[in-house]
Structure 1
Amino acid sequence: MMRRVLATAIMVLLLTNVAHAGATIVGAGSQTCTAWINRKKNAVIKGSFESWVVGFISGLNVSGDREIVGGGDFDAIVAWMDRRCAAEPSLRIGIAALDLAMELAAKSATGKP
């Protein structure tokens, strides 16, 4: 159990450092949350933005040493992004997705759903 908590803490710290270091995020993740909010106007953009976020979260999940998404709930991930982007429209989609990953990692470490 202690090893899991330590591994999660390290992952969260690394992810936080990436966000603050100005690491390059490409694709839909480089757009602002305003673009995320407006994505529903075009089915292709909607699909690409949502797929980018789910792929990003999945990639972080695979790269970690344990499961953070708990089977993955596409609708829950999209709903979380909707709420976050509505609250901070100028935030980059990739940074919001990174925040989601950190939240999922923290919940995974504590065993909370």
Structure 2
Amino acid sequence: MKRVLAIAVMLLLPITCLNAGSTIVGAGSQSCTAWLNRKKNLVVKAAFESWVVGFVSGLNVSAEREIVGGGDFSAIVAWMDRRCKSQSSDQIGVAALDLAMELAGNAAKR
């Protein structure tokens, strides 16, 4: 139970920081609309998808428990596609944080 609480606290702290005006740099600072348009340019597509996978991987490494479940790249990209379609004005980084929180929640259930 302590591990679940530690993971929850770790993942909720960035939300507080984001709400307090923390800066997201790189591809994560772009909007979900840009994410949805990424396929028009292969370099942008690669940059955006790599940023999200790297962000989630970084959170995974810093967690006390495996949250990405083997790192299914296609599933991560598909999740981001769905999330960005539903909230296109959000930043990619905010959507990626939501993804990480969902993954952490799923990992805690295992």
TM-score exceeds 0.5: yes
Q: Amino acid of the residue matched to residue 12 of structure 2?
A: L
TM-score normalised to the size of structure 1? 0.92
How far does residue 74 in structure 1 lie from its aligned partner after superposition?
0.3
Write the distance in 1 (CA, Å) between the matches of 2:16 and 2:106.
19
Q: Which residue of 1 aligns with 2:38?
A: 39
Write the distance in 2 (CA, Å) between the matches of 1:69 and 1:54.
10
Q: Deviations over 1:22-64 (max 9, x none)?
A: 2111000000000000000001100010000000000111111
Q: Amino acid of the residue matched to residue 25 of structure 1?
A: I
* Structure 1: gaps spanning 5 or more residues: none
Write the distance in 2 (CA, Å) between the matches of 1:58 and 1:100.
11
Write the distance in 2 (CA, Å) between the matches of 1:55 and 1:12.
16
TM-score normalised to the size of structure 2? 0.94
Contact 1:19–1:98 at 8 Å: present in 2 too? no
| 1:54-73 → structure 2 map (5 Å cutoff) | 54-73=53-72
Write the distance in 1 (CA, Å) between the matches of 2:62 and 2:11.
13
My pick for the range that moved more, 86-95 or 14-23, is 14-23
Does residue 25 of structure 1 match 2:37? no
Write the distance in 1 (CA, Å) between the matches of 2:72 and 2:9.
24
Q: Amino acid of the residue matched to residue 20 of structure 2?
A: A
Q: Which residue of 1 aligns with 2:79?
A: 80
SS at match of 1:89: coil
Q: Amino acid of the residue matched to residue 55 of structure 1?
A: G
How far does residue 16 in structure 1 lie from its aligned partner after superposition?
2.4
Root-mean-square deviation (CA), in Å? 1.1
Report how many residues are paired: 110
Q: Which residue of 1 aligns with 2:107?
A: 108
Q: Deviations over 1:85-112 (max 9, x none)?
A: 011111100000001011111111111x
* Structure 2: gaps spanning 5 or more residues: none
